Amino acid sequence: MSTLLLNLDFGEPPPKKALEGNAKHRNFVKKRRLLERRGFLSKKNQPPIKAPKLHSEPPKKGETPTVDGTWKTPSFPKKKKTAASSNGSGQPLDKKAAVSWLTPAPSKKADSVAAKVDLLGEFQSALPKINSHPTRSQKKSSQKKSSKKNHPQKNAPQNSTQAHSENKCSGASQKLPWKMVAIDCEMVGTGPKGHVSSLARCSIVNYNGDVLYDEYILPPCHIVDYRTRWSGIRKQHMVNATPFKIARGQILKILTGKIVVGHAIHNDFKALQYFHPKSLTRDTSHIPPLNRKADCPENATMSLKHLTKKLLNRDIQVGKSGHSSVEDAQATMELYKLVEAEWEEHLARNPPTD
């Protein structure tokens, strides 16, 4: 039998680049390259910069290191080889066994759908896990829950005009009683024949009747008539009395921004030379529900003494020693509290104009 001779010229083999990283990374790179060839993934525009790894594979015999950290196999001279074995069998040599740097072509079975799915699944499993973000439906449901918590009474009817007027007129009376005070002043006569009323004592109590301010006040003008029978003011009270200018500043600090209750309160404000907003003023001499409770005409101006006796069953302003501004202020606050809810509701519907 004749011997078959083959003259093969393989040329210069391409340099074999060592795969970096551990076994898991090498498998990942293999699968990615295979998926790129299959068309599942697009190739990267710029390959990542390869740095030398500490735990890379050791260099093989005859390989030399390159700049990028890989090992390059030196080229071999062209060589003619015969396929005949030493025993003369005549069988060709296996290319994979003869040349180690050649890689076998992929089998046709890998083109099947099952193989593609398996490779894609393995590639996805090799990718790092990323926490999933909530969907739109989950976001909407969470927003609904939070809105329900923040607005438990969303369906309750609301009237913006009424709410504004209630805050302006009555909100402080029920929710913030510390913003309510009652005032009463005692005057003496100054000027020609003592016909000018000047402030000589001022008392302020809070919602519970506790005294916040009670001082004798020295008028800026000479006192002609002390009016002791009604005011209770005597000459000795003016010895250490607070000057009017200083006392006025102290009083206005207490009244500013608060609901002020009084009986015929316009006289007190006149003596203080002060104007208080009508929306924050409650005059018990002009509250129709209070007169109705006392069985009096609604539009009549009743005295504080009469209303206190009729509704509180208490006597005030008795005797010849004069009135007590503290006692009068406390009685005024108690009378107001009898009709507070009804009167504030009326003011909310008909807010006064300043």
The kind and range of the H/E element at 231 are helix 228-231
CA distance 263 to 125: 86
How far, rounded to the nearest angstrom, does the alpha carbon of residue 136 sit from its chain's CA centroid?
A: 23
pLDDT for 59 equals: 53
Listed residue (325, 345, 309) closest to 262, CA to CA? 325
Q: What would the two tokens of residue 131 be?
A: 């926490």
61 DSSP assignment:
T
CA distance 280 to 183: 13
**pLDDT tens per residue, range 172-197:** 445 467 899 999 999 999 999 999 99
Give percent of the chain with pLDDT exceeding 90.
Answer: 45
Q: How confident is the prediction for the chain on average, in pLDDT?
A: 74
Q: Residue 171: pLDDT band by 50, 70, 90 thresholds?
A: very low
238 DSSP assignment:
G
Vertex 3 angle, CA 7 and 10, to 5°:
15
CA distance 233 to 228: 5
Q: What would the two tokens of residue 267 be?
A: 């006289």
pTM above 0.85, yes or no: no
Contact indicator for 83, 6 with CB cutoff of 8 Å = yes
Contact indicator for 185, 202 with CB cutoff of 8 Å = yes
pLDDT for 209 beyond 60 = yes
Burial class (CB in 10 A: 0-12, 13-18, 19+), 251: buried
Contact indicator for 113, 40 with CB cutoff of 8 Å = no
CATH of 177-347, one of 3.40.50.2020, 1.10.8.620, 3.30.420.10, 1.10.3720.10: 3.30.420.10
Residue 198 has φ and ψ, to the nearest 5°, of -120, 145
Listed residue (319, 321, 290, 320) closest to 303, CA to CA? 290
